[in-house]
Structures are given as structure tokens and as C-alpha cells.
Amino acid sequence: MMTPKQEAALRDYLQEAIVPLIEQVLVKKLGQAMSFAAEELIHPKPASKPWVGLDQQDIDIAFDDTQEGGGFNEFARAIEAKLREKNAQSSKPLTDENLRKLANKHLFYQPESYEVSGVFALARAIEAAHGIKGEA
């Protein structure tokens, strides 16, 4: 059994030896998390978009683009070009109304104006970092 003096000495030792180690680990982990977040903002992973197929109208247009007398290979190339065209379309930015709805749902504070507070500017910067540009 420990005496009160020994317990106090043990507490002091733990305070001096263990607490700084815990603080170092926490600081290191926080630094790693911040580095990861910064890297993701600078080099975001491209979001995978669902594959878009062709409808009958697209197939008919590809068929019409195939010159008369063209064979299977020419028609296949026209289909391939149409698929590339449909799947290369970029995403559009969110509308201001959609941004406002998201901000209302997820922000813990409600600024007088999202535009003035920089919330919309941040959202547009994130969209641009992910290759989403243009008019909403």
C-alpha cells in the first residue's frame, strides 16, 4: 500500500512525464490531419461520375453520321465518339439557392448574408478545385 506522500510523488511524476507525451502525440496527429486536409484541397481526387449511355436518339444520330456505305467499324467509331461526348460533359456549379439550402442545413451559425461572409466564395473555390466551373 502506498502512503499519501508516495501517491503525491507518483501523481507529480505522471503529470511531468506522461502528460507531455500525450500532448506531443495529440499535436502530431493534429498536424497530420491538417496536412492531409490541405493536400486534399490542393489536389482533390477526381469524383467518379456515373457512366452515361446512349439513348435511341443518340444511336440514330451516330448512325446518320455514318456515311452511306460505311461499315461496322465506321458506325462503331461514331458510337464511340458520341459516348465520349456525353461522358465528357462537366458538372455544373450549384445554384445560389442550392448553396443557401446547404449552408442553412450544415452551418452552426447563420450569418446575415452568406455572400458577404465568404461562404459562397468558399463553396465556389471548392467547386473550382474539383474542376466544376461555369454558370450555375
**Residues, the chain:** 136
Closest residue by Cα to residue 124 from 106, 105, 98: 98
Q: How far apart, in whole angstroms, are the C-alpha atoms of residue 55 and residue 105? A: 37
- pLDDT, tens digit, 9 for 90 and up, residues 42-87: 776 666 667 777 778 877 777 777 666 566 667 677 777 777 777 7
- pLDDT, tens digit, 9 for 90 and up, residues 5-43: 999 998 888 888 888 888 888 888 877 777 777 777 777
With a CB cutoff of 8 Å and minimum separation 6, the contacts of 62 are: 54, 75, 78, 79, 81, 82
Whether the CB-CB separation of 91 and 135 falls below 8 Å is answered with no
Residue ranges covered by each domain of the chain: 1-43, 54-89, 91-136
Q: Confirm whether pTM is higher than 0.75.
A: no
Tracing cell 450555375 back to the chain, one arrives at 136
